[in-house]
């Protein structure tokens, strides 16, 4: 029995399922655009083989780590999988706990890779752990499962990485110089140099100065350095920036206020929390101003308390699956930025949330009004069939489809990309089929919208044309 049913994620009523099938068949094989993600550009530069199944699937995936940890499996045990001697043992532990992922998107994404890439057709479990290990390991040794081969096999049109403002983008240069025709583009992510609470902020500013030849100890030089780095990213193919802030706060300080604040937050390693928040707020507005000037699309990911678990942070560092969302306000927070730049017709501000109560209350009304505002797809915990359905159900009636940005796979798990797009396209098809089935939309319109969501709206939102 195959792991995946061809009708998965389609509504069960035959009247609707038939429509969903038809819509999906129109978009299933369209090229994949991946305008926001976290793959490592060196993979494409070096085109080396991927490591063993544990290192490939388990250790870098915070969705998997958090679920196993939540059921009492110690992080120590899981981390032992990084040692090749213990890797298969940890894989068996994961396999024995695969039932924990029932009803989660992780299950759908993994089953897709297992079946489509490795031809597996029995469910992962304690009993099949070794079959999986061996089958996957064999495939990983072949050239078919190297990054560039997969890029082609996945029918990718473009993939964006996320890169520190301080990154020299040498992997991107290596890709371009290699003669390979894949399109791997960087994204300008300046958190490390705009957030005074970011680890090493003051050192980062010094590095920024050294990279750009600007005096980053002055507000003016600091801003000039950022303009320079953005220009460099754009030259290397970037079309967008990305900002991961705890809140959506923005500010319009006067030049004098901004200079004074800059001095305060750069004078110490422990700036006051309110100063740090106000500085981040001002910097979002500065970034918007620069976007208006240089045309880079601005992405805003807010509302997560990072590294919420101090015990794990102390022992294992960042990104252990212990980030927890918080209530998020957009309407008051974004007012300063939008008041100044929201009506710019060539500016793009793509908003993401982890707080679903904002969909119908704030985000859809903002996107349904401002020419600059576009809604990004459901993010992180909400990147799931139910999450995507709720997004469309809460957003479409106010913002329509044309103020949304298509899908982001948002992953560092390169192998999972087609599976993630598969879930997204099936869920779009399911949603559209429901509108057709109850005659809110004609079928020709639904087919057109499905195609738009899979390509043109992504290209337009991210200026990928």
Place of tokens 């699937």: 57
**Is the separation of the CB atoms in 65 and 100 below 8 Å?**
no
* Binding status of residue 398 toward a second copy by CB under 8 A: yes
Interactions with a second copy, residue window 280-309 (CB under 8 A): 305, 308-309
Closest to a second copy by CB, 39 vs 353, is 353
* Binding status of residue 69 toward a second copy by CB under 8 A: yes
User: Cβ of residue 166: shortest distance to a second copy, in angstroms?
Assistant: 30
* Binding status of residue 252 toward a second copy by CB under 8 A: no
Question: What string marks each residue from 104 to 143 as x (binds a second copy by CB under 8 A) or -?
Answer: xx-xx--------------x--------------------
Number of H helices and E strands in the chain, helices first, is: 23, 11
What angle, rounded to 10 degrees, do the helices at 255-266 and 201-212 form?
120
* Binding status of residue 338 toward a second copy by CB under 8 A: yes
Give the separation between CA 228 and CA 201, rounded to whole angstroms. 18
User: Cβ of residue 126: shortest distance to a second copy, in angstroms?
Assistant: 14
Helix, strand, or coil here: 401?
Answer: coil
Among positions 384, 408, 411, 454, the unique one binding a second copy when judged by CB under 8 A: 384
Beta-strand relationship, 188-189 and 304-305: unpaired
User: Cβ of residue 101: shortest distance to a second copy, in angstroms?
Assistant: 6
* Binding status of residue 45 toward a second copy by CB under 8 A: no
Among positions 209, 387, 455, 456, the unique one binding a second copy when judged by CB under 8 A: 387
Task: At 11, list the tokens.
Answer: 């509504």
* Binding status of residue 99 toward a second copy by CB under 8 A: yes
**Is the separation of the CB atoms in 297 and 36 below 8 Å?**
no
Among positions 253, 312, 337, 453, the unique one binding a second copy when judged by CB under 8 A: 312
* Binding status of residue 31 toward a second copy by CB under 8 A: no
Closest to a second copy by CB, 194 vs 434, is 434
H or E element at residue 416 = none
Closest to a second copy by CB, 182 vs 368, is 368
* Binding status of residue 331 toward a second copy by CB under 8 A: yes
Among positions 211, 360, 412, 443, the unique one binding a second copy when judged by CB under 8 A: 360
Number of residues that bind a second copy (CB under 8 A): 96
Give the separation between CA 354 and CA 324, rounded to whole angstroms. 9
Phi, psi dihedral angles at 55 (to 5 degrees)? -70, -30
Closest to a second copy by CB, 69 vs 132, is 69
Place of tokens 């899979």: 454
H or E element at residue 363 = none
The string of DSSP codes covering 114-140 is IIIIT---S--STTTHHHHHHHHHHHH
């Amino acid at each position: 029995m195959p792991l995946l049913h061809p009708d998965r994620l389609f509504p069960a009523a035959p009247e609707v399922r038939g429509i969903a099938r038809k819509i999906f068949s129109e978009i299933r094989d369209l090229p994949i655009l991946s305008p926001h993600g976290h793959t490592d550009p060196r993979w494409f530069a070096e085109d080396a083989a991927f490591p063993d199944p544990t290192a490939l699937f388990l250790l870098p995936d915070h969705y998997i780590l958090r679920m196993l940890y939540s059921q009492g499996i110690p992080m120590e045990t899981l981390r032992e999988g990084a040692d090749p001697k213990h890797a298969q043992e940890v894989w068996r532990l994961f396999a024995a706990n695969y039932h924990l992922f029932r009803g989660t998107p992780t299950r759908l994404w993994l089953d897709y890779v297992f079946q489509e890439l490795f031809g597996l057709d029995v469910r992962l479990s304690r009993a099949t752990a070794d079959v999986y290990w061996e089958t996957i390991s064999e495939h990983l040794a072949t050239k078919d499962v190297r990054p560039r081969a997969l890029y082609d096999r996945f029918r990718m049109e473009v993939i964006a990485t996320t890169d520190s403002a301080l990154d020299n983008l040498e992997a991107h240069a290596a890709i371009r110089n290699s003669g390979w025709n894949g399109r791997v583009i960087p994204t300008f992510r300046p958190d490390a140099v705009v957030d005074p609470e970011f680890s090493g902020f003051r050192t980062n500013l010094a590095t920024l100065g050294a990279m750009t030849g600007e005096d980053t100890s002055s507000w003016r030089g600091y801003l000039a350095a950022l303009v320079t780095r953005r220009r460099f990213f754009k030259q290397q193919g970037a079309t967008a920036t990305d900002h991961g802030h705890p809140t959506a706060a923005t500010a319009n300080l006067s030049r004098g206020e901004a200079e004074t604040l800059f001095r305060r937050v750069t004078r110490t390693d422990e700036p006051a929390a309110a100063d740090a928040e106000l500085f981040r707020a001002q910097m979002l507005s500065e970034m918007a101003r620069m976007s208006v000037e240089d045309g880079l699309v601005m992405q805003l990911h807010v509302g997560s308390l990072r590294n919420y678990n101090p015990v794990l942070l102390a022992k294992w560092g960042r990104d252990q699956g212990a980030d927890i969302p918080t209530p998020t306000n957009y309407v008051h927070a974004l007012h300063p930025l939008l008041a100044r730049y929201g009506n710019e017709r060539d500016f793009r501000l793509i908003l993401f949330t982890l707080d679903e109560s904002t969909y119908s209350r704030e985000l859809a009304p903002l996107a349904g009004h401002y020419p600059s505002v576009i809604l990004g797809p459901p993010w992180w915990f909400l990147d799931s069939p139910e999450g995507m359905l709720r997004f469309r159900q809460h957003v479409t009636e106010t913002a329509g489809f044309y103020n949304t940005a298509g899908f982001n796979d948002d992953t560092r798990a390169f192998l999972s990309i087609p599976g993630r797009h598969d879930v997204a396209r099936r869920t779009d098809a399911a949603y559209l089929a429901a509108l057709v089935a109850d005659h809110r939309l004609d079928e020709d319109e639904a087919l057109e919208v499905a195609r738009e969501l899979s390509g043109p709206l992504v290209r337009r939102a991210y200026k990928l044309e």
